Each structure stands twice: as structure tokens, then as C-alpha cells.
A = this chain, B = another copy of it.
């Protein structure tokens, strides 16, 4: 299955998810780890489309998700940078593009190591809270703790 850039943009406008996890981690100076992740989840009958996405981008993995669903997933920072370059060149047409731009800012901040500082992490949390996929109440509690600490 050969994919074109436009098809990928259309499919990701429908099915793609840009998510940034903020996870407690005692080894980190801030106490939290920042985990940006791009996923496309499909029913197992469409696993071929997920492998086609992996071939198209040249990175990422296809893994079992929940029940009869599989996910194409990109987590490595260098791969996320290349993914962001692609969606900067080929913009999403839905409002998912707003989330993508915030996601990209997080990826760029991480490249500069800013997620390892209290100030950088607070800025990332603000970005993630405003994303469609962000768990606002939980993130605001983490931020309040960061600022207080």
C-alpha cells in the first residue's frame, strides 16, 4: 500500500492523536517526565494501514492497543521532530492543527532540554492543559505544586 502526503494528512486529520503525557518520575529533577506521543489507532482489520504509515514515515512502531485495536506510535524525540517537520510542511486542515502546533512547541522545548527545568516544565504544562487531549484538572494541580515548591 503506497500512501501520498495528502492522504496521510487527511487520515491523520481524522484518526491521528497528538498527546503529551506528564508522568511522575522520581529520577527527574522536576519530579515529572514529559512524554510526547503521536498515535493512530485502528481496528485490527486495518493493521495494514498502520504498517503503511510506518513505511511512509520511516520510523515508529505498530503495537497492540486495547482489545481488537492496534496503534501506530511515535515516541522517540528525533522521530517526533521529523514528524513535526512533515506536518509543518503539510498542514492539517482540521482544528487538530492547533493541537499539533502546541505539540510541536513541546517537542522543540524538549530538544533544548527545557522540560528538565521547573520553569520549562510549567510552560509545557500550560501548553498541554490547553490541548484537546490534555487532562486539565490534573495538570493544573501538578503546576500549582511546581510553583509552590
Contacts and interface: CB of A to CB of B under 8 A. Distances in A.
Contacts of A3: 93
Interface of A is mostly: helix
A66 interface: no
Contact of A94 (B4, B5, B46, B95): B46
Interface stretch (A6-14, A107-115, A140-148): A6-14
A15 interface: yes
Contact of A13 (B4, B5, B6, B10): B10
A46 B10 contact: no
Contacts of A43: 95
Total copies of the chain: 2
Contacts of A4: 6
A52 interface: yes
Contacts of A45: 95
A132 B96 CA distance: 27
A127 interface: no
Interface string A2-39: 01111111111111000000000000000000000000
A10 B6 contact: yes
Contacts of A9: 7, 10
A49 interface: yes
Residue of A1, A11, A43, A49 contacting most chain B CB atoms (<10 Å): A11
Interface of A: 1, 3-15, 42-43, 45-46, 49, 52, 93-95
